[in-house]
Amino acid sequence: MTEPTRAGCSARAGRAAIASASLVACLTLGACLTPEQAAERNARRPPTPAEVEQHNAMVPPEERIVCRNEIPVTSNIPVRKCRLMADIDETSLFHREQLRRALR
């Protein structure tokens, strides 16, 4: 087993510096979005609470939505989900029915 030389150490440090610099560069470049990408990302984000309320004020009751934080089965991180009120009611009814059947 050979002792690590000063030159070897500095070479390794240099490679690590290059690797970290390239990683930072990748992340920085990745963070820069074109206006189209930014618009697309914006369009994909769930609506804010104020946007939800504005939507609900403009449409009839059957088209109104509710957004809330839900914790998915496979994770502990809450995710904001928006659903039609009618869907929430139907799902809730379905789950109640299933539970009743299981307990019978």
Partner 1 sequence: MSFDLFLRQRRPEPIKILLLVLAVSFCSSNVFSHDNTTKTLPSIANHFSELSHAQLMESADQLRMDGRYQESEGMFKQLFASVRANSGLFHEQQFVVLDRLIQINLARADWQSLKQHLDYHDWLGNRLYTDSPLQLAGHLQNNASYHELAAQAIVGPARNWHLVQTRHQLWRAVSALQTLPGERDRLPPLLYKIAIHHYALSRQSDLRWLTSFETRTDEPAMISGWALQGNEVNKRSYEIGAELILRIISHYEMNPRSEPTSQAALLAQLTAYRGDWEILFERDRHAFAFYDKSLALTAETSCSDLMVRALFENPAQLPLTTLPPDVDVCSATQNDGSVTVASANFNPGAPAIYRPRRSQDQWLTESPPPALSATDTEIHHD
Interacting residues toward partner 1 by CB under 8 A:
48-50, 53-54, 56-58, 60-61, 64-66, 68, 85, 88-89, 92
Tokens matching residue 9: 């150490």
Distance CA 32, CA 38 (A): 9
Smallest distance from the beta carbon of 48 to partner 1, in angstroms? 6
Report CA torsion sign: 94, 96, 101, 102: positive
Q: Which residue has the tokens 């995710």?
A: 79
Nearest distance from C-beta of residue 56 to partner 1, angstroms: 6
Of 30 and 60, nearer to partner 1 (C-beta) is 60
Nearer to partner 1, 37 or 91 (CB): 91
CB of 93 to partner 1, least distance (A): 9
Query: Using an 8 Å Cβ cutoff, are 49 and 67 in contact?
Result: yes
